[in-house]
Amino acid sequence: MPGKAAPVAEAAPEGETRFAEHVPEGRLTAQRGLYAGPAPIVSKDLYAEIEWGSAVRDRDSITLEPSGKVTSNTYFGRFPASYWQRWTTVTEVAVEAVVTGDGLLSVGASDLAGDARVVNAEHVSGAKAKKVKLTAKLDKFHDGGALWLDLETEGGQTLRVEQVRWSVEAPEKIRPTAVTICTMNRADDCLKNLQALAADVSSLHTLDAIYVADQGTDLVESRDGFEQVAKDLGEKLHYIKQPNLGGAGGFTRGLYEVAGHTATEHANVLFMDDDVLLEPDLVVRMTAFSNRAANPIIVGGQMLNLLHPNQLHVGAEYARLNTLEPGQPVTHSLSTADLLGVDEETLKPNRQERRLDAGYNGWWSCLIPYEVVKAIGYPMPFFFQWDDAEYSYRAREYGFPTVTLPGAGVWHADFHWKDWDEWHRYFNLRNSIITAALHSPFNLNLLSRVLMAQLVRYLLGMQYGLSATLIKAVEDFLEGPEVLHDGGVAAMKEIRRIREQYPETKRHKATDVPGIASNDIGIINSAPRPSMQRLVLIKRILDRVLGRSRFGLGAVPTDEAHWWHIALFDTAVVTDASQEGVRVRTYDKVKMFDLAKRGVKVIQRLRKEGTEVQEQYKRAMPELTSRENWKRLYEL
C-alpha cells in the first residue's frame, strides 16, 4: 500500500530449512466425507442425516440397510462450491468412494435460494470394494450453493460406502503448512488437540509442522500423554516455552518460526486455539482451499459453540471499527443458528447457501499465507483481543482479503457465557481504539459519544470496576505506542490490580454472598426496554445523583441486568454470565462521581488529542510489527 512501510521477513538460516513446497502425488484432497464427529457429544447429523430407513454411521464409513436414504447435505457434509468457484482456479471437483453392495450414489447441488438439484448419479450393483467417482462442474455457484453426496437403497439392497474423498486437480506445487497452537495453563485441552492431530496425521498430507507456544506455568509437557504424542508426531512437533505474551504473542510465534525456516514464500501458518474441540479435517479443507486460491488470501475457519455443539456462532463477521463493535454478522449470515434446525421465517433448514465476504476471522482457526506476513509484517503486540481483526483489516489494505470457509469448523466455548465485566475488557477497549485509529476514519466525535454512552451505562449499572477499566483503556491509548513496548505484560498486571479495588468485579456463590443472607435475595425482574430511553436515562441519572432508589436488595438474572433496571437498586445481586455465581453491585455515590469526572476528562482528552496520537500509532506500526520487535519480546 502506498505510503506504508512493512518489514520483510528474514530468510531461513542456512541448514535450518524446514519448509519447502512439495510435488503433489495425484489429486489434491479438498475434504473428506465423514459420517461421525470427533467426540460423542457431536451429533452425527452434522455430518450425514438419515432421511428414511436406517443406517450405521461411523467416522469414515456408512452402511445403509434396505429402503434407506442418507444425505450429506449437512454442515460438515457439504462441499462449499460457491467459495471454490469464487476464490480458486478450480473448475471441477470429484467425489470418490469405495462402495460395497447395491444402491444409488448421487451428487446434489443447491443455489443461493437453497433449491436442490442432482448434477450426477450412478447406480451400483453387486459392488465389492469398488471405487466410484462422480464429478461436478463448479460453474453455477457464484452467489451461493454447495455440493453433497446422497446415498439410497431400495428394498432388498444394502450399501456400504467408505473412504469418501472430495478432490480437485492439484497445483504444480503444494504449500507447506504449520499449525500453531497458543496455550496458557490449559495443558489438558492442548494435549487433547495434539492427540487428535496425531491420530489423524496420516490423512493430513499438507501438514509439515505443529508449533506449540506454551506460555503457562502448568506446562503441556508435564502431562503423562505428552511423551507419547511427541513420539507419534515425531519431527513435526516443535514445543516452545516462552514468556506469556498473550494470544498475539503465542500465535505470532508460529509466523516467526516459519518465516525463519522457510525456503519459499508459498507457505501457510494455521492458527488454532488450545481449548477447542478439534475437527482435524479442517486442516485438510483450509489448506486445500489455500493451495488452489487464485491469489493469496487469509482463510478463516468457523466457530461452533462448544456448550451447544449444534450451534454455529456466525457464518462470517466484520467489525464496525469507529464504534468499536467487533463480531457483527455479515448480511445474510447465520448467527447463533441451530444447524439442525430451521429458519423461523422461511422454515428452510439453517444452511449457509449464500456466499459471504468476511471482514475478519477469529483466530480459533485461521490460516495466514506467508506472502501476507512478508507484505504487511507481523501482528501488533496487543497481548490479546482485536489482534485478529487488526491483522485482517491491515491485510485487506494490502490486497489480501479474508474468506471464512463454511464446513471448516471447530467447537469453542460459547462467547455469551463469558462475562463482559472481566479484566480482558481493558484489552478489548484499548486495542479496539488502536485498531480504529489505524484502519478507520477515526471520527473522534463519534468515538467519544460511544465511549461516553458506555461509561454512563456502566455507572448506572453500578459497575464501577468496569468503568475504571474503560477509563484506563482510554488513558493508555493516549499514552501512545510506548504502551505496547512490553507486549502487554505490565498492562495486564496493572488492570488486575485496579479491578481488585472494586468488590463487584468478584464472583461469589449465591449461597455465600458476603454480608447478605442467602434467603434475603429474591429475584426482581426487569421491565421491558423503555420506549423513550433518553427520558428514562435522564430520570435514572437524576435519581442516582439524588440518592433515590426503588429497591433495597434484589437478585437480577444476567439477561435482565440492563442499566435502566439495575439503576433502581441500592444493591443488586446479578448472575454472572458464566452461570457459575453472582456479582454484588452496590450503589456508591462517591465512586460514581469520581469515576464520572475522570471518565469525562479522559474522553475530552481523546477528542482533543486523538488525531495526534493516531499519527503516532501509524508511524510506529512498522516497528511494532517487525520481526526485530518480536524477537526482542521473545527474548531471543
Q: What is the set of active-site residues?
A: 388
Cα(233)–Cα(250) distance, integer angstroms: 20
DSSP string, 537-554: HHHHHHHHHHT--SEEEE
Q: What are phi and psi of 165, to 5 degrees?
A: -135, 130
Q: What are phi and psi of 105, to 5 degrees?
A: -110, 130
CA distances from 274 to 60, 195, 251 (A): 25, 12, 11
Cα(51)–Cα(64) distance, integer angstroms: 11
DSSP class of residue 9? P
Alpha-carbon 467 to chain mean position: 27
b/e for 84-120, b at 16 or more Cβ within 10 A?
A: bbbbbebeebbbbbbbbbbbbbbbbbbbeebeeeeeb
Name residues whose C-beta falls within 8 Å of residue 333's C-beta, 6 or more positions apart in sequence.
314, 315, 316, 317, 352, 356
Amino acid at 26: G
Q: Which residues pair with 50 in a beta bridge?
A: 70
Alpha-carbon 40 to chain mean position: 23
575 closest CA partner among 636, 501, 508, 480 = 508
Amino acid at 583: R
CA angle 15, 21, 27 (to 5 degrees): 150
**Three-class HEC string of 475-515:** HHHHCCHHHHCCCCHHHHHHHHHHHCCCHHHCCECCCCCCC
Question: For residue 570, what is the enclosing H or E element?
Answer: strand 569-575
Cα(598)–Cα(416) distance, integer angstroms: 30
Cα(446)–Cα(444) distance, integer angstroms: 5
CA angle 273, 278, 283 (to 5 degrees): 90
CA distances from 327 to 41, 317, 383 (A): 26, 5, 19
For 429, the 3-state DSSP assignment is helix
Amino acid at 371: E
Q: Which residues pair with 213 in a beta bridge?
A: 182, 240
CA angle 398, 401, 403 (to 5 degrees): 165
Strand pairing class (116-137; 92-110)? antiparallel
CA distances from 492 to 124, 425, 499 (A): 63, 11, 11
Q: What are phi and psi of 379, to 5 degrees?
A: -60, 160
DSSP string, 72-123: --STTT-B-HHHHHHHBS--EEEEEEEEEEEEEEEEEEE-TT--EEEEEEEE
